[in-house]
Chains A and B, each alone.
Chain A
Amino acid sequence: MADIGEMVQTGAVAVTDDGSPVHDAGMMRRALEYAGMFGITVISHAEDMSLSGKGVMNEGYESTRLGMHGIPPFSEEVCISRDIILCKYIGTPLHIAHVSTKGSVELIRQAKAAGVNVTAEATPHHFTLTDVEIGKEFSTNLKMNPPLRTQEDVDAIIEGLKDGTIDAIASDHAPHAPEEKEVEFDQAPNGIIGLETSLGLVATYLVKPGHLTWNEVARKMSAAPAKILRAPGGDLRAGAIADITIVNPKAAWTVKVDKFYSKSRNSPYDGWKLQGKVKYTILGGEVSFEG
């Protein structure tokens, strides 16, 4: 275990195993117990590596067709079940990162109904893309972990966002240099950049079709993350910290990766037409970005 106590003393608001899941249930138990002493949330990258194996995409018809090693949905679900059960006994707040499957949404929904202290997030790519895209040109900008799943999973994630099972939307921003991604699919690193497309995707694919209201978006992208991390921010009132994003919900724009502020270009959304754009980002009362 890492020196969680000293990290909390120097400002850490949560701990996570993101990218390198805790295989050993006994270790996860100790991490939850120890983190609980400081009242911080444990963020779980729920994945059983013995089930994921050499997987590079969702296991299903598409991985069969493309001859790719698959990551089954139950690799995520087995681990979420384990963590929910541990959380039920230990009580330390548990947050499930980047939920990607229908079964995961159902497990979290049931756990919340049973009063388990669990929250969850989803990424824009898991409610806007499916594994069907991969075979079109084997683009490594469609390779991430958890992998893109099926339309059924996408629908379940949107449903989970609507009914509150999924509390937050997180970008899972993962920059990689072009030369790292311009390689064989199974050799490429996981992850895409999400920061500059998150809001536009949420506006276009969740607000526009009527799945979420702007108030709910503010909660899922600001208030809920702040609450899960017990960090300041996420509310608008006199005396509160002035970290504010101002959005033009009507602004139509086309994603152009070579116009990104980020140095990385690893986004699958190049050329997508989106509606909804950040106008200003205010950080501590100062305008830090003007779009």
Chain B
Amino acid sequence: MTFKRRHLLSLEELDAAEMMKILETSKVFREVLDRPIKKVAPLRGLTVANLFFEPSTRTRVSFELAEKRLSADTVTFTAATSSVKKGETLKDTVRNLEAMKIDMVVIRHSSSGVPYFLTRFCSSSVINAGDGQHEHPTQGLLDMYTIWMKYKKIKGLRVVLMGDAKHSRVLRSNVWGLTKLGASVAVCGPSTLLPVGLENMGVEVYTDIDKALDGADVVNVMRIQLERQQAGLLPSLREYTSLFGITKDRLKRLNKNYTIMHPGPINRGLEMADDIADCDQSVILEQVTNGVAVRMAVLYLLAGGEGRKTDED
């Protein structure tokens, strides 16, 4: 299939074939990352602006590396150095950047829906690098890629998404992506962090971790934000760990060839015991490596893939 989209806004709007196209393309770029010279030329002459209106290290660096390895010119703009504080609207900020002739915009913002808002007035391709609590589609794709690489399939696997479903954009992207590719998905967390109607997203919902983990292949653990306790959603972080923390003992309920994932950054000792993050079944650092390849695939496909028109043609 040819990939026709200009923007990557959510995994909810992609179909299974489009996601598989991204994953298959990622495989090619993953191989590039193991070469001594980790650089190819498909985005030569294109300019990508990374607009990070919310702090991020991993995702920002991952996108920057993906762009550089595709030979794009890149510029990164973070909220701390922005003109946003001077009272300029987001629309004006982005339009000014666009006036400098950029081709693609990667945006991270604390408000859900901002990438959609940008598409209303931007002529560039827009890539969602995390919008509020809505979606983080490239994280969802890299999680799926990591699972796919290990099991050579996604269909029929049992995946448990642990933790703060209410506030997690990573969880939403995982739910849409995995269910569309045929995985059976369970979400587990305290009732105060399970949003209304979650079961209508095609997942099973649990508040009992042992039941959730029973017979699962993959556990993807979401980060618990420390402020959830202050907001009265959790009595204490200590109680969260005792009821929902991932421990060696609890992992016995999983299938033999199980996998531990975490989108990072990890609160060691809170959502997972220290030794779990570094155990043999943990693919947490592979997720990070794969993230670069998946983002290269997304940038490449949105730029037109093999069919990209250049002046040299």
A positions within 8 Å CB-CB of B: 59-61, 63-68, 70, 72, 137-138, 179, 182-187
Contact = CB atoms under 8 A, between A and B. Distances in A.
B186 to A, nearest CB: 16
A154 B89 CA distance: 34
Given A182-B91, A183-B90, A183-B91, A70 B112 contact: no
Contact of A186 (B91, B111, B120, B195): B111
B189 to A, nearest CB: 13
Contacts of B131: 67
A116 B132 CA distance: 44
B196 A183 contact: no
Contact of B196 (A66, A70, A137, A138): A70
A168 B200 CA distance: 36
A61 B89 CA distance: 30
Given A179-B89, A182-B91, A66 B112 contact: yes
Contacts, number: 64
Interface of B: 12, 89-91, 109, 111-114, 116-117, 120, 131-135, 169, 172, 195-198, 200-201
B197 A183 contact: no
A184 B111 contact: yes
Given A138-B116, A186-B132, A64 B195 contact: yes
Contact of A61 (B111, B113, B197): B197
A243 to B, nearest CB: 41
A212 B12 CA distance: 40
Nearest to A57: B112
A16 B90 CA distance: 35
A33 B64 CA distance: 64
A106 to B, nearest CB: 20
A184 B117 contact: yes
A63 B195 contact: yes
A184 B120 CA distance: 12
- Which 8 residue pairs of A and B lie closest in terms of their CB atoms, listed nearest first? A61-B197, A138-B113, A67-B133, A67-B134, A184-B111, A64-B195, A67-B112, A138-B116
A70 B166 CA distance: 11
A187 B91 CA distance: 13
A59 B89 contact: no
